[in-house]
Amino acid sequence: MARSLDSKARPGRIVEQDFVHTGPGTLAGRYLRLYWQPIYVSEKLAQGSIVPIRILGEDLALYRGESGEAHVMTNECPHRLSVLNTGWIEGETVRCRYHGWRFDQAGRCVEQPAEAKPFCHKVPKLASYPTREAHGLIFAYLGEGDAPAFRPLPGLEDGAREGWTVSPSAEMIPCNWFQSAENIMDDVHVNFSHRDHLVNTAARPFVPTRTWAEETPFGMTQFQRRGEKTDQIHFIMPNQCYLAHPLRSARDDKPFWFKALFWYVPIDDESHLHVLIMVYHTRRKERPEGTPIHQEIQAIVSGRKGWQDVARHPNLIRIQDGVAICGQGKIVDRSRERLGTSDAAVIQLRKLWTRELKSLAAGKGVTPFGTPDPRALRKEELDAMGFNA
């Protein structure tokens, strides 16, 4: 019989599985809540609209007030506990659709229409969180106290240049968030999971002969030796990744960059948001939306569909990744794995996270990881590719 996930757990001891549980009050949840997290794609939230979202195990109502500003608060009306996301937006406030109580963006009750003697001042404030919009995404700070400074995002400087495009998106993947984080620190998969895709054939044509990882001021870097070059993928603690591949155009052999920033944001312990900003040197093309990728992932994992059924899906890469990691189960049982030397970066990521959680649990705080300097990273990668900087 498989050992349970927490078989190694005992009071006071941090086990590596602690990074999978991120709901309110959990250690990993506390760690992730120390950072701004992307929660939605800006253009999908129209002015005056409200949607239910779940982030880090919390049910929230996200809305855009009539001023255009985004607000996020608990999605439960304190009167008789109905959801708020079915209500109306009035200015910057939300009116509950059940009995019309109204709340401002700070979560304060400001109106109780059927009460002859309103008692708004006695109604506890709903939890509400600061938001910020950048690069086409809505971010929220779900932690305690004042929000930290917004960390600059690497690799986006090209997006402001003429002819470049910054393309943000967010997709639900139906398995634990850490499986996505490990997947990006496991670049061997590119030669198999993405075997027929351009991302493999153009960027990583050979199975790596050596994989290693190093801790960096921003988290860690995974290195892989492929033929004459060494690929790098950068993990920005606690749940972000940056990659930049210098490629040569098949048409005219001119060098160009493919850059991507990822976040893996837990929805709850069994699903997460896979948030991606791609930066590329072409104008944005209108892409068809395609069917929801979590449905395709589940259909393929269960055998109801085959790869030929999704071959032309606009989000094929994410489906390929999702199938691999959802195929491990909702929460993979790491006690039964057989890791090899090519899993060096996965092991390093687990060690890093486990170390930070131990420190947090001991009241010592966490390492103040920074943001990678794209110019420094770029130089190494350019040199590795023989590009002239």
Please say which residue, 57 or 78, places its beta carbon nearer to ligand FES: 78
Q: At what angle do helices 316-326 and 293-302 cross, to 10 degrees?
A: 50
Three-class SS of residue 159?
Answer: helix
CA of 131: how far to CAs of 38, 70, 93, 128, 273, in Å?
9, 7, 15, 10, 17
From the list ligand FES, Fe ion, none, which binds 298 (C-beta under 5 to 8 Å, kind-based)?
A: none
The structure tokens listed for 181 are 């984080």
Please say which residue, 269 or 321, places its beta carbon nearer to Fe ion: 321
CA pair distance 65, 45, nearest whole angstrom: 10
Phi, psi at 214, each rounded to 5°? -135, 140
From the list Fe ion, ligand FES, none, which binds 31 (C-beta under 5 to 8 Å, kind-based)?
A: none
Applying CB under 6 A, among 28, 70, 96, 275 the residue interacting with ligand FES is 96
CA pair distance 2, 15, nearest whole angstrom: 17
* Bridging pattern class, strands 229-236 and 70-74: unpaired
Q: Closest CB to Fe ion belongs to which residue?
A: 321
Q: C-beta of 63: minimal distance to ligand FES in Å?
A: 15
The structure tokens listed for 314 are 């606009």
Helices (H) and strands (E) in the chain, counts: 8, 18
How would you class 1 by CB atoms within 10 Å of its CB: exposed for 0-12, middle for 13-18, buried for 19 or more? Answer: exposed
Does residue 79 interact with ligand FES by CB under 6 A?
yes
Q: Which residues ranging from 102 to 121 are in contact with ligand FES (CB under 6 A)?
A: none
CA pair distance 128, 60, nearest whole angstrom: 9
Q: C-beta of 118: minimal distance to ligand FES in Å?
A: 12
Beta bridge partners of 225: 210, 230
Q: C-beta of 62: minimal distance to ligand FES in Å?
A: 18
Does residue 101 interact with ligand FES by CB under 6 A?
yes
CA pair distance 275, 35, nearest whole angstrom: 15
Which is nearest to 18 in space by CA: 321, 275, 356, 357?
Answer: 357
> How many positions of this chain bind Fe ion (CB under 5 A)?
1
Q: Which residues ranging from 308 to 367 are in contact with Fe ion (CB under 5 A)?
A: 321
Whether the upstream peptide bond of residue 238 has omega within 30° of 0, thus cis, is: yes
From the list ligand FES, Fe ion, none, which binds 77 (C-beta under 5 to 8 Å, kind-based)?
A: ligand FES
Please say which residue, 42 or 82, places its beta carbon nearer to ligand FES: 82
From the list ligand FES, Fe ion, none, which binds 96 (C-beta under 5 to 8 Å, kind-based)?
A: ligand FES
Report which secondary-structure segment, H or E, holds 245.
strand 240-248
Does residue 82 interact with ligand FES by CB under 6 A?
yes
From the list Fe ion, ligand FES, none, which binds 321 (C-beta under 5 to 8 Å, kind-based)?
A: Fe ion
From the list Fe ion, ligand FES, none, which binds 99 (C-beta under 5 to 8 Å, kind-based)?
A: ligand FES
Give the contacts of 83 (CB within 8 A, at least 6 positions apart). Answer: 52, 59, 61, 75, 76, 77
Q: C-beta of 122: minimal distance to ligand FES in Å?
A: 15
Does residue 280 interact with ligand FES by CB under 6 A?
no
> How many positions of this chain bind ligand FES (CB under 6 A)?
9
The structure tokens listed for 107 are 């979560």
Does residue 99 interact with ligand FES by CB under 6 A?
yes
Question: What type of residue sits at position 49?
Answer: S
From the list ligand FES, Fe ion, none, which binds 98 (C-beta under 5 to 8 Å, kind-based)?
A: ligand FES
Applying CB under 6 A, among 61, 77, 260, 297 the residue interacting with ligand FES is 77
Stretch that binds ligand FES, among 36-44, 95-103, 246-254, 257-265 (CB under 6 A): 95-103
Q: C-beta of 80: minimal distance to ligand FES in Å?
A: 4
**Contact footprint for Fe ion (CB under 5 A):** 321
**Contact footprint for ligand FES (CB under 6 A):** 77, 79-80, 82, 96, 98-101
